[in-house]
Amino acid sequence: MKFTRIAFAILSASVSAVSAHEDPALFHRVSTFNICEQIDPSCNTDEATNAETLWYFTNESGGTSLVYTDSEGEALGFVDITDSSKPKADGVVPVGGEPTTVRVIGDYGACHCEDPQGKKS
């Protein structure tokens, strides 16, 4: 298959101060999610996709979600991580350009995109 298959680690959000004598690892892998599952649950696709920057937030049902930028697909992708050991594809939103960063605070989100002609929005 020609598609880019990228998995990103869903990382625990808890970070604590670490002394020189403690375990230096601040993040521990909880699970992974194949970005191509947004296109096809079995990743049987030739469509290019990737996850770049991401942000996590509390979704409207009180669970936790991730939003990530996908410049290949010119979209934002969403993953439900309410059960962090079993992340679920939660859809994509086309943005009409290459998203480079995304943030969600409360009920609001912001995304920086570059369009195919190189203009910034």
For position 120, what pLDDT does the model report? 56
For position 59, what pLDDT does the model report? 82
**50 contacts 4 by C-beta, under 8 angstroms:** yes
Q: Mean pLDDT across the chain, nearest whole number?
A: 77
Domain ranges of the chain: 7-14+25-114
Intervals of the chain under pLDDT 70: 1-25, 116, 118-121
